[in-house]
Amino acid sequence: MLVTEIPTGKTIGEPLQWPRRGCTGTRASTHLVTTRYRSNSAWIDLDTCEITAFFGIRPGCQTNNNLYPANGVMNMPNLTAGCTCNFAPASVACVPAAVVRRGRAE
């Protein structure tokens, strides 16, 4: 995968490769690309090229990438109906820890 500056078409950084293993396509947002990593749900931080995997959480099949990054929330609804693999069918939403701490009652 190459990160490209849209106005100039200039490649930013080195090409990124990862063991994808699976049929789910990628989905890009401003800061992340969602994908599969060693068959599991994962995202790639475009600033650091760091891969974060959710081991044991199944992404959707075929072209249905069910990893939706939006305004700091990573939403993973369970869209795996009909799958017969050993992954956990789960719906997950992730937010930054700072948001959770800020919401606590004092």
In the predicted model, what is the mean pLDDT of residues 35-64? 79
Full domain range(s) for residue 40: 3-102
- Report the domain count for the chain: 1
More confident residue, 60 or 44: 44
What does the block give as tokens for 42? 């994962």
The pLDDT mean for the chain works out to 78
Residue 86 pLDDT greater than 80, yes or no: no
Residue 55 pLDDT greater than 70, yes or no: yes
Q: Kindly give, in sequence order, each residue whose CB lies less than 8 Å from that of residue 59, ignoring residues fewer than 6 positions away.
A: 22, 24, 36, 40, 41, 65, 66, 67, 76, 80
Neighbour-count burial of 33, counting CB atoms closer than 10 A to its CB (0-12 exposed, 13-18 middle, 19+ buried)? buried
pLDDT at residue number 61: 67
pTM of the model: 0.68
Residue 59 pLDDT greater than 80, yes or no: no
What does the block give as tokens for 39? 């068959």
